Structure 1
C-alpha cells in the first residue's frame, strides 16, 4: 500500500508542478491577453463612438439603430484584427471563466488608454506651445521675475 501511495503522491506532485508552470499562459486556441486587450479596447471605443452619432438636426439616434451600427463596428474591428466571430467568442468565454486573466486584460486596456491620453495631451501641449510659447510659463503674464535673490526675506540670506 505504501508503494501505491508514493506513486499517487508523486503523480499528483508532477501534475501540480506542471500546472503551476502554465499559470500565466493561456491555451493555444485562445487569443493572447495582448490581442484580446486590443480588440476589446477597440470595441469599447466603437461603443462610445456610437453614442456620438446623431442624424440631421442633432436628433438622437434610436437605440435599435445604434445597436445595429455597433454590431457593424464590431464586425469591422474583428476583420481589422483578422479574427473570426467564433474565435473571438470562444476566447471571450475563456476569459470570462478566468476572472484573474480577464482582469489582466482590462488592466492592459487601462494602461493603453492612459498611454494614448498622455500622447494626446503631449501633442496638445506641443501645439499650444507652438502657438503661444508663454503658454507653459508657470507664472501669470503680468508677473515680473528678477534674477536677484529673494528680496522679501533679506534676513534669511547668508552673510559671507
Structure 2
C-alpha cells in the first residue's frame, strides 16, 4: 500500500468537491471545518494537510476508498452529483444538500456548457446567459456570475466591441 500523499489527497478532495455542486459553505459543514480554512487549503499553494478524520468524512460523503483517495489521483465520475443523490437518499442531511440548488461554478461547468442555446451562440451578453441558467434554476442568485464565468476554463469572454459600458460577451471555448 502506498503512503498517504497530502497533495494527492487535496487534489482529489478539490476535484470531487467541484463536481459535487456543493457550495464551499455546505462542504465545509460536511467536513466539520471552517469555510475559511477549507478555502485556504483548496487553494493548493499552501503547505497544509487535512487531518485523517476530515479526509475520512470526505471519503464517506463521496463514497470512496480512503486508501486509494489518499494515495492515487482519482477520476471523478461525470455524474457524481446524481450518484451521490442515490447513495445518500436515506441520509436526510446529505439528501437535502444534494437536492438544493448547486453552486454557480457547477451550473456553469456542468449545465451551461451543455445547453444547446449556449453552445450554438457565438456571443452572449450576461443577461442572456442568466436567462439560460434560470431555465434550469429560476431561484439561483447570480450576483457574481460575470466573475464566475471568467474563472471558468470552459468559457471564453471578451469586452463588447461597441458598448460603452464594460459589457462582456461569453461563449463556450
TM-score range, shorter chain: under 0.3
State the TM-score, normalized to the length of structure 1: 0.23
Larger radius of gyration: 1
